[in-house]
Structure 1
Amino acid sequence: MKEVKKLWEEVRELSLGNNSEVERLNSAPTPLQFLRDHVSQNKPFIIKKPNLHWPAFSLWPQPSYLSNKLSSSLVSVHLTPNGRADSIVNHLGSLCFASAHVERMPFDEAIKLVSNSNLQDSKLVAYLQQQNDCFRSEYSVLGSECDEHIPWATEALGCYPEAVNLWIGNHLSETSFHKDHYENLYVVVSGKKHFLLLPPTDVHRMYIRQYPAANYSYSQDVGEFTVELERPIRFVPWCSVNPYPSPETRESEMAKFPSFFDGPKPFECTVNAGEILYLPSMWFHHVRQSPDDNGFTIAVNYWYDMQFDIKYAYFNFLQSIHYKSPHGPTLLEIECGDSGSVASAPNEGEADKVTEDE
């Protein structure tokens, strides 16, 4: 519908701007400014000088420091063949949603796996990205080296963060497009994070479809991954678009997802070490990263519960509208995979899934 396409443009003109850049603030906002100018408007920003005095900024980029500090800690490491956990993969000619193989091991072993992922012939990519409050559980010994919350955000939102998470990866770690039902304050400690962002109103450009859930399984004996479908079958709603297709597949990807590639440009931003990104609830985001001189990217994020208010009702209403791109067939009418089959879709609603995202 032309009305939906017009909405994408009007949201940018009225609230977000048309230059595809995220607003950058020189200093942290007051609680009132944060709530009035950004949370209520569902509008992201980056703080260039957030006035954080964390020991983490000088200590954590040193691998030996973390290894010594966490010498007795068991942590969860996520393993994939390519660095893309929680993403759509082709399995036996059909598409499925594959999550990483997760193993618990001493931190020293885990950080070596992350480092070895940088080797040219590596067939295994490790990422320390366990969620559900991993910083206050698996990495609790580091708690005094950064803030337990973001004071101006806590005051504005009227609560402490529900979860605080630590992320340690390398240049191969990549997160596919998804959204979260949290107000997200994302602090980069070392390296850089590269985000592509789209507002909730662009939901129809994401080509969200139901895919059967699967998991990577890794065999240390042969050093190879297999993909195993969950039994009983469970379906996961996920975005079908890869915003960075290879030169060989770019033309076909653009033909499959015209509303994404022909629509307004996603907002792009790089979050440098020492900076904070405010990522509003329900914004779609795709994440890549560049490591520091030691080969790592380290970040901490704070998940605050979103308010399930009128904005959430608007989003659910918009998502319920059937939209067919005027450019051509929908995704379900396009052959996907070598066999030409697609994942069946019992419904089109999106579940509230806590994702492995940054």
Structure 2
Amino acid sequence: MNSKLENLWEEVRELSLGTTPQIDRLHTPPTPLQFLRHYLSQNKPFILSASAATTLQWPATTLWTSTSYLLNTLSSSTVSLHLTPTGQADSLTAHPSNPDSLCFASAHVQRAPFSDAIHAIKASRKDSNKGFVAYAQQQNDCFREEYGALAGDCDSDISWATEAIGGLPEAVNLWIGNDLSETSFHKDHYENLYAVVTGEKHFLLLPPTDVHRMYIREYPAAQYVYSEETEEFELKLENPTRHVPWCSVNPYSLPKEKKKEMTKFPLYYNGPKPFEVIVKAGEILYLPSMWFHHVRQTADNRELTIAVNYWYDMQFDIKYAYFNFLQSLTCCKSHSHALNGGESFTNEDVFDGDENLREELNGC
């Protein structure tokens, strides 16, 4: 079974994505038909380079380089501010009552005047001694809901994507953070057009067919609670208990932990390399639906990174059915890893009574 999965990973790259860990870089915007034929229908990412004359002809690309402009324009706006101890939200961390296991931790979220949010983001940069990292974002159409005063600075949609997909974006989100903000491996059920306005975004990308390399497991959900009085965080498990399926792999684990991580997650470390993508100011990344992505960022000279992304609804078609079937397959016992209490999976758990598929699995 494992050898068949490994063949799949290689074939996807050879037939569609290319054998080098790079994605297409376009120097002119695609027509709607080109986008539909060569990228959307093939579930294939690309970068629209800043050298393209019409990539981002937005007022935002010049106006948003001025913090004063942002503060003046959003002087009466209240935004969602996410706080974490390290900059890693929606990620795995030590269980609050059992350090030998993990939980899925979400950020502390508070409403704040935009000026306070910018101050907090700048105050939590690398050279400060603040006990938190602040990130202004909210994945609920926040650009149109919370930052409406800036709406005229950007296009309301990406025209060639809108025409190819046949509908306007479901959500448009704004992201303002610093170097410490990091997003762990995950996937989204959206066609994502991700435009960087200032700073840079650093993506690691893996196609949906590499799902087994992510070691997705169920983790108990928890949330950080921040006290302004003590300036300390408390990590609280949700009550009643809720479990979240999440990717177990941390591609940037500390050097002292790397050997252990490689032993725990051999399919990730021994398989094809992720696609490494740097999206610079003025560039757009097309991130197809269900692609796994890990995101870091580099700030501009103000210690800020600002991006806008457009989420278009994906088609829940045969591609989605194929992915769900693939995800239901379980790798051989030799590659399953006991996490969170020692649970492991065997071939007997994969299919309920299908003897033909069971024989196939027993041969791996």
1:330 counterpart = 2:332 = no
- Cα deviations by residue, 1:215-268 (Å, 9 ceiling, x for unpaired): 001011111111100000001000000001111101001110000011000001
Q: CA deviation at 1:342?
A: 5.8
- Taking the TM superposition and a 5 Å limit, the aligned residue runs for 1:5-16 are 5-16=6-17
Structure 1 match to 2:240: 232
1:265 counterpart = 2:269 = no
Q: Which amino acid aligns with 2:165?
A: L
Q: Which amino acid aligns with 1:109?
A: D
Paired with 2:321 and 2:83, the residues of 1 have a C-alpha distance of: 37
SS in 2 for 1:268: strand
Structure 1 match to 2:297: 289
Paired with 1:168 and 1:120, the residues of 2 have a C-alpha distance of: 18
Paired with 1:247 and 1:234, the residues of 2 have a C-alpha distance of: 32
- Cα deviations by residue, 1:105-149 (Å, 9 ceiling, x for unpaired): 100001100001113322100001111100001001100000000
Structure 2 match to 1:62: 66
Conservation of the 8 A alpha-carbon contact between 2:17 and 2:44 = yes
SS in 1 for 2:146: coil
Q: Which amino acid aligns with 2:20?
A: N
Conservation of the 8 A alpha-carbon contact between 1:42 and 1:281 = yes
Structure 1 match to 2:47: 46
Paired with 2:17 and 2:283, the residues of 1 have a C-alpha distance of: 21
Conservation of the 8 A alpha-carbon contact between 1:194 and 1:287 = yes
Unaligned runs of 5+ in 1: 349-358
SS in 2 for 1:71: coil
SS in 1 for 2:261: helix
Conservation of the 8 A alpha-carbon contact between 1:134 and 1:164 = yes
Paired with 1:342 and 1:104, the residues of 2 have a C-alpha distance of: 40
Conservation of the 8 A alpha-carbon contact between 2:48 and 2:55 = no
Structure 2 match to 1:83: 87
1:113 counterpart = 2:114 = no
Q: Cα RMSD (Å) of the superposition?
A: 1.6
SS in 2 for 1:271: strand
Structure 2 match to 1:141: 149
Unaligned runs of 5+ in 2: 351-364
Conservation of the 8 A alpha-carbon contact between 1:188 and 1:276 = yes
Structure 2 match to 1:74: 78
Q: CA deviation at 1:329?
A: 4.6
Q: CA deviation at 1:52?
A: 2.4
Q: Which amino acid aligns with 1:276?
A: I
Q: Which amino acid aligns with 2:187?
A: K
- Taking the TM superposition and a 5 Å limit, the aligned residue runs for 1:148-159 are 148-159=156-167
Normalised by the length of structure 2, the TM-score is: 0.90
- Cα deviations by residue, 1:182-207 (Å, 9 ceiling, x for unpaired): 00000000000000000000000000
- Taking the TM superposition and a 5 Å limit, the aligned residue runs for 1:94-109 are 94-109=101-116
Conservation of the 8 A alpha-carbon contact between 2:55 and 2:284 = no
Structure having the higher Rg:
2
Conservation of the 8 A alpha-carbon contact between 2:337 and 2:344 = no
